[in-house]
Structures are given as C-alpha cells and as structure tokens.
Amino acid sequence: MQFLDQPPRFLFFTGKGGVGKTSIACATAIQLAENGKHVLLVSTDPASNVGQVFGISIGNHITAVPAVPNLAALEIDPQAAAQVYRDRIVGPVRGILPDDVVRGIEEQLSGACTTEIAAFDEFTALLIDSPVTDDYDHIIFDTAPTGHTIRLLQLPGAWSGFLEEGKGDASCLGPLSGLEKQREQYKAAVDALADGKRTRLILVARAQQSTLREVARTHEELAGIGLKQQYLVINGILPKIEAETDRLAAAIYQREQSSLNAIPEVLKQLPRDLVALKAFDLVGLDALRQLLIDSPYQVHEVSDLLVEVSKQSLSQLVDGIAKEGHGLVMTMGKGGVGKTTIAAAVAVELASRGLPVHLTTSDPAAHLSGTLSGSLDNLTVSRIDPHEETERYRQNVLDSKGAQLDAHGRALLEEDLRSPCTEEIAVFQAFSRIIREAGKKFVVMDTAPTGHTLLLLDATGAYHREVARQMDKAHLHYTTPMMQLQDPKQTKILIVTLAEKTPVLEAANLQEDLRRAGIEPWAWVINNSIAATKTTSALLHQRALNELVEINTVAKQLAKRYALVPMLQDEPVGVERLHELASG
C-alpha cells in the first residue's frame, strides 16, 4: 500500500461516511504496531465505533488494546470533553461567586458551541509535543465523515485568527474564556497540519461517481488550508471474477469500473491504492489483518434461496407516513448507509401521491440534486448550507442589533460574529425555520451522519431548556423544535442502516441517544440488502448470509417496524428509479 510507504507521525483518514475509514485506520494501526511501532489510534467522530471494531470499551481516555502490543486507542467523546471543559472553567469560581452567577455561567456553557470547542481542544493537544503523546511513533486519526472533518481541520486556523483579531470582548465569553490560554497550542496545531513531513491525509472512497466527486472537493478544500500531502484509497472494489456468472455482480462491477475510468482530474495526480471487497465483516483482529492484503476468500455453495426475508417495502412505510397529510420525516444513521437515497425516495413517493413535499438536508456534504437528477410536481428541494446560513445570520444580526450601536459597539459585534460558534447558531436557526413548515406540508429531511446530527440535537435541546426557563416563569404557552421532534404525530424518525454488524450497532446506539432525548424512532430501513436479492455470486452470497443475523436482530430486538430495501442493479438516481425503489 503506497499510503503506508514511509508514513509520517500523523496519519488522517477521512472521506464520505460508510466508505470504510474506520476499518482501514484500524488495519493500519494494527500493521504499524505489529511492525514494532508505538501507535495511538484516535477517533474524532462523535459517533465513534473504534471500540466496537476491537470488541473493547475505549471511551474518552487512552486505552491499551490488549490483543495488540504497542497499540492504544482514544475516542474523543464531545460530551465528556465538554464536561471536563466546563469543570475547568467553573471549578475555580464555585464557592466564590454567588450560586445564581455560577448557574448562569454553567447555562452559558451548556450549548453545542462549548461541546465543539472542548472536543477540538482535545484534538489539538494531540498534535503538539507533550508528555501525553511523546511515547508514540505514530498517531492515527479516524475522523468523522467529510463535512464534519473539514470543519475540524479548519478550526485551528479559524480560532487562531479569531483570537489574533479579537479583543476578548465577544458575547460568547463562556466557551471562549478557556481559549486565550490555548493560542500557542492552536498555532502549533496549524503548523503540524501543514507540514508534509509530519502529516499525511488519506482520502478514503468507494468506486462510485458521487463519492469520488465528493473526495475531489475534499481534496481541494483541505489542500487550500495547507494539508497537501494526500493519498487516495479506493475501498471495497468487487473482484472481476464475481461478475462472470451473476447479473447483480456484473452490474456492480461495471458501475465501479466506469467510476474509476471517469475519476475526477484532480484525483489522478494522487498516489492511489485499491482495496478489494471482502466476503467477511470487518470486525475483529483477524478480519482487520486481512483487509490490506490480497487474500483468498472461502467459497460456500450457493443455495437457490437464502431465506425468507421480510417483504415489507418502503412504500408500506410511506402509507403510514401519508395518513397525517403533513409532518416532518427525518432519515438518520451512520454515514454511507443511504440516508439521502431513502429520504429522496420517500419524498418522491409522497409527492407522486399528490402531497406537497419539501425535501431538504442538514448534511454539509450532501447533494440531493444529484440523487434526484430531475424535478417532480409537488416537490421542492433545498439544502441547509452552513456558509450561506452563517452569512445570512451575521447580516440579520448586524441589520437589527447592530443598527442601534455606535461605531465601537458595531465593531465589537462584528468581532463577535466572526467566532466559529456563529455557524452552530445559524445552522440551528435554519433547521428550526424549515421544520416549522411541517405544520402545513411534508418536510423530509436527510440529516448529517450520526455524530453531526446529535450535535444539532444538542443545540436543539439547549434552546428548548432556555425557552422553557423563560416561558415557564411567565406562564406562557410555547412550542420548541425539540417538542416538535418528541411528538410522534408531528415527526417520524426513520433510522437507516445496512445489514452489517457495525452499522446496526451504531444505529442501535443512535436509537438509545434519541430515546434519552425523549424522541422515539418510528421505523428502521435496512437499505441495500444483498439478502433480499437472488445473487449467485459466491462472494455476494457469503455477504448475504452474514446479513441474515443482522436483519433478524433488527426485526426481533430493535425496530417497532421496518422495511427491507434490496441492492439494485442500477443506482437509484433520478425520479423514476427513486419511485421504483419506494414502491418495489
């Protein structure tokens, strides 16, 4: 593998959700550790599953991996990091300032902005020389899906610039109060990220046109902030031999080869590695050791009928959704499971029944227009663009609050609005604005991958608590976005997953997170199932057999209702194919 030739100290694995970043990062960590290097594997994904891959509990502290000498792992938990951050700021004033003042500071530190800063604080600490990291030859970062990662890697420069330009008078004083001390740490992080001798970025992709286009955008954005030492790994490529006797396998193979032949020009210059699709789930040390090597797979006799699986279709779920005549439908789940496709298919099916539908996304890396590839009566499409929403929010604040300020006050306000925290507020406001439409029509929202979505829900919860505190005192009636999400008559959450161990485990964890927030998922959608097809490919057949365990787990233990969506020969792109997917 070229990306492992003379590896520098810092290795970042990033890419669209579901492409195999975690598996390849873990396999790399094992290989380096077994070659005698001391390795720290770090997950910056708010929905990390590194612990699940190794079968151990890791969490927000450095933990040795018992089965692999020289290897330790760390999952940066945003919530735990935020609590440590709050304690560090509030602890010194507790018992000194009045209780109501301390409570006010704690409330100020309860939002998503503080959560992001705290996680970012831990991330940058790993990029500088310190007693915590001195013993490691390599630090490997398994990052969140693309949009979240770009923001994370932009933050050292963003916060450094903000602190350099600012005078420390921002209204976001709670979260910012701990940042001034970190100025040198952030500068050192910027220097480490931009140094090709210390940092290498590995872009992980699948042989799919949409994924490769996104990787090309990621390549250019990260090169623009100084991360120019980049490699490309294309994962999960179906071997040619599988295409010789099976129509489904032949269609997949042809699709992948066409995507590779049409790879974006900016990616052609990068060193490239290809990793073959495996017949086994990438969980456990034995599987991970085989991932980066060409190894034969065991061929089982292909039966005529795998098993009788659920015949419930996506259309039957839409029947239940359509009864109300309006409402909010949100697809949630791990990156790469097909949330965008399922959201688009549900929207197309509702619109084809003559119902007004607004299809939107909160995923920074999503492109609904490419999935729809056309238009349909009764259907409007939009996207919550963080950059556009932030600029709109800034302008609105300057036009309203800033209009009454003198030149000095306006300058302070403009300084405040340059804080990266502003984006979190702007995106939440856009989210709230769109879901209000669900009182009159259907709003179908394709959300960001799990971790990013949970941060958005964290902001929603913080806003709810603040509104409740003020309105309850005044004895006024109110409805917050969180209350709308908690009402099953107004909101239906579809958890989208694949019939694989890690996506199902993560989906189950997401369901528990939602339930703790008082939100009950309405249904599960098992997408892209090979077990729901009649494949005769030996490799795909083995993967289908593996799926049956996970389908049974969802059906009998996790979901109140679910639909099984088969893997299709043709990609479900365009209104016609989306309609077929939903009604099939």
- How crowded is the C-beta side of 267, counted as CA atoms within 13 Å? 26
Residue 294 falls in the annotated catalytic set? no
Q: Which of 14, 15, 16, 23 is catalytic?
A: 23
Which own/partner contact pairs does 457-463 have at CB distance under 8 Å and 24+ positions apart?
Answer: 457/482, 457/485, 457/514, 457/517, 457/519, 458/111, 458/112, 458/115, 459/111, 459/112, 459/424, 459/425, 459/427, 459/428, 460/428, 460/431, 460/432, 460/485, 461/517, 462/110, 462/111, 462/112, 463/428, 463/432
Question: Is 28 a known active-site residue?
Answer: no
User: Nearest 5 degrees, angle CA 92-CA 75-CA 366?
Assistant: 110
Angle, alpha carbons 157-161-164 (nearest 5°): 140
Paired tokens of 223: 């090169």
Tell me the residue ranges of DSSP E strands in 151-214.
Answer: 199-206
Q: Exactly one of 14, 28, 45, 371 is catalytic; name it.
A: 45
Residue 18 designated active-site = yes
Q: Is 23 a catalytic site residue?
A: yes
Name the active-site residue from 15, 16, 17, 20: 20
The one catalytic residue among 22, 63, 110, 537: 22
Dist. CA 534–CA 447, nearest whole Å: 31
Amino acid at 432: S
Spell out where 415-522 has E strands. Answer: 442-446, 491-497
- Which residue in the list 143, 450, 502, 537 is annotated as catalytic? 502
Q: Cβ distance 455 to 78 under 8 Å?
A: yes
- The question of whether 210 is a catalytic residue gets the answer no
Catalytic residue of the set 15, 17, 18, 335: 18
Catalytic residue among 15, 16, 17, 21: 21
**Strand ranges in 277-432 using DSSP code E only, listed in sequence order:** 327-332, 357-361, 379-381
* 546: enclosing H helix or E strand: helix 538-553
Q: For this structure, is 20 an active site residue?
A: yes
Q: How many Cβ atoms sit within 10 Å of the Cβ of residue 320?
A: 12
Phi, psi of 202 (to 5 degrees): -110, 115
Catalytic site residue 409?
no
Q: So which residues are the catalytic ones?
A: 18, 20-23, 45, 502
